[in-house]
Structure 1
Amino acid sequence: MDEAQLRVWCSAINHLHFPSGFLSEAELSVMEGQSLTVPCHYEPQYAGYVKYWCRGKMRGFCTSLARTDTANPAAGKVSMSDDPVQLVSTVTMSDLKEGDSGWYLCGVELGGAWTADAVTETYIQVIHGMSVVNSRLSGEEGSSVTVECHYSERYRDSQKKWCRTGDWSSCLLTGSEGSYNDTSVAIRDDGSRTFTVTLKNLQMKDTGWYWCCAGQHKEHVHVIVTPRPSTTAVTVTSRPTASLSLAYLPPPKPITKESCNSHSHIMESFLVCASFLILLGLAILVRKLWKRHRQDPMLRQVKMIKARHNEGSGDVGDPQSAAVVFLNRDCQEAYMH
């Protein structure tokens, strides 16, 4: 290679561009038979470019699985979408097998002769065995808790077990229909690589470690039962009771024109009744005074006659000297005539 050719080759090397700023997960693990979603975030300058997903570690030897500009070669198994607003392309791989483990590239196709694509490497490991969603569960005494146990595709037809650690005789197994049920435990296998275990009516003695088993694989689960809160009676004295009763009294009604009118009507009715009672009392008093006034002259006349009779001479029993007194004035006048 002469000096001129060397100068051109070095110039080409200097113009090569290896972009950075493409972010993704470096290593991912997934259970066999399950699906996996990989987000590939990129920088704003790559928003208008084509994104791709391929299997391999080098672009020149990478088998294309999905692109954003054409139909996916592995349609049904792998799909890819792009969101230039959020600056992320999303890859979804479904029904993964153990043979799908390996290196993958998520890239932006820049298309320049001297410009390399912006790529990021991701290693995907497909494993078989078991996993649990939550390995630590807590429930109140008398309640229920449920644990989800996931298993790989090869254990679909295997018998599922729920055991207490250290005691294989405590294991509960699913039957031919893939389920088990009694008063304290219910196990259900839906055949889609997940079986659930529900512990019912928890007791304090249920606290401990358990195994979620499929085939020869098992995952530990720790269950904690908390005591049921006790209800204590609260003694309420007379003062708090009074304050509580006052707290529930209805709020006072606002004073309005209508309420003032109703109050004035009530006062008027009260004044009319009071005036009537006063007049009635005065009438009764006047009547009594009038009767007493009419009787006073007759009483005085009787007293005068008695006094004359006592002063006069003669036999008291003489009927001729006796005076006839009429209390009725009309009868007296009639007699005298």
Structure 2
Amino acid sequence: NVSYTDAHIHLGVHSITTISKVSVTAGKSVSIPCLYDSRYMNYVKYLCEGYYWNYCNYVVKTNKPDRSGKYSISDDKNQKIFTVTINQLTNKNTDYWCVVEINGGSDHGESFQLSVSSGYTGENITIRCHHRNSGGMKWCRLGRNCVTKSSGSIDGTTVTIHTTDGLKPEDSGWYWCAEGDIQIPVHLTVTEKLINSKYCKRS
């Protein structure tokens, strides 16, 4: 049940923020976060497949799920992020748009590209975001600032190339790391650690 979009897609400045290029493994799944402006909180969001906006096909909407199981979409209105998931990736699944549907006007969207690499059953593949001599590494929080040097700070949390120090629950959310034009989305969940001790009693 795929159809062409019936409205132009407008590339609104700061309307939608997502990553632009992701390296993924064939046969696996990938989830892409799409950050949107607060004015779109109660609007329908959807995933559109295709390189050009005027030829892309919507494949799943927040009000119309994909029954095939290939695509799924969820909307976190508190974080103002909708997440699209693509399953059973192939090298035909490369170009997409995160879109907010605007009734009576041009839809607002932002594109991203998947670089699909081959994998084999039974092997383990680890994707590392590491620093090479070229110095092109960076770590960013979606919609916020980036760390491009050996260390820096995002929302008060110290970040180095390999670790984040002083994590807080409010640091939870979507991040991405990049080297060159390849970007990898990472969802970070920070929870408090419970300590059980016979010397500590609840009061």
Give TM-score scaled by structure 2 length: 0.52
Larger Rg belongs to:
1
Q: 3-state SS of the aligned residue for 1:98? A: coil
Q: Which residue is equivalent to 2:124?
A: 194
Q: Deviations over 1:149-180 (max 9, x none)?
A: xxx0xx33xxxxxxxxxxxxxxxxxxxxxxxx
Distance verdict in 2 for CA 1:23–1:31, change over 3 Å? same
Checking the alignment, whether the CA contact within 8 Å between 2:65 and 2:72 is kept in structure 1 is no
Checking the alignment, whether the CA contact within 8 Å between 1:19 and 1:117 is kept in structure 2 is no
Q: Distance in 2 between matches of 1:119 and 1:86?
A: 18
Q: Which residue is equivalent to 2:200?
A: none
Q: Which residue is equivalent to 1:111?
A: 103
Is the aligned partner of 1:59 residue 2:49?
A: no
Is the aligned partner of 1:99 residue 2:97?
A: no
Q: Which residue is equivalent to 1:79?
A: 72
Checking the alignment, whether the CA contact within 8 Å between 2:74 and 2:83 is kept in structure 1 is yes
> Per-residue deviation at 1:18?
5.3
Task: Return the structure number with greater relative CO, CA threshold 8 A, min gap 6.
Answer: 2
Q: Distance in 2 between matches of 1:65 and 1:91?
A: 10
Q: Which residue is equivalent to 1:42?
A: 36
Checking the alignment, whether the CA contact within 8 Å between 1:40 and 1:106 is kept in structure 2 is yes
Q: Distance in 1 between matches of 2:39 and 2:125?
A: 46
After the TM superposition, which residues 215-230 of structure 1 pair with which residues of structure 2 at under 5 Å, given as runs?
none
Give 5+ residue unaligned stretches, structure 1. 1-16, 129-151, 157-190, 197-337
Identity level (%) = 33
> Per-residue deviation at 1:123?
0.7
Q: Distance in 2 between matches of 1:89 and 1:76?
A: 18
Amino acid at match of 2:101: E
Q: Distance in 1 between matches of 2:108 and 2:34?
A: 11
After the TM superposition, which residues 1-337 of structure 1 pair with which residues of structure 2 at under 5 Å, given as runs?
19-21=12-14, 22-72=16-66, 75-100=68-93, 102-112=94-104, 115-128=105-118, 152=119, 155-156=120-121, 191=122, 193-194=123-124
Q: Distance in 1 between matches of 2:37 and 2:88?
A: 31
Q: Distance in 1 between matches of 2:115 and 2:125?
A: 23
Q: Deviations over 1:21-43 (max 9, x none)?
A: 11001111101122101000001
**RMSD, matched Cα:** 2.1
Checking the alignment, whether the CA contact within 8 Å between 2:48 and 2:57 is kept in structure 1 is yes
Number of residue pairs the alignment of both structures matches:
116
More strand by share: 2
Q: Distance in 2 between matches of 1:195 and 1:59?
A: 33
> Per-residue deviation at 1:99?
2.3
Amino acid at match of 1:108: V
Q: Distance in 1 between matches of 2:81 and 2:125?
A: 34
Checking the alignment, whether the CA contact within 8 Å between 2:73 and 2:85 is kept in structure 1 is yes
Runs of 4+ in 1 over 6 A off after TM superposition: none
Q: 3-state SS of the aligned residue for 1:45? A: helix
Checking the alignment, whether the CA contact within 8 Å between 2:91 and 2:116 is kept in structure 1 is yes
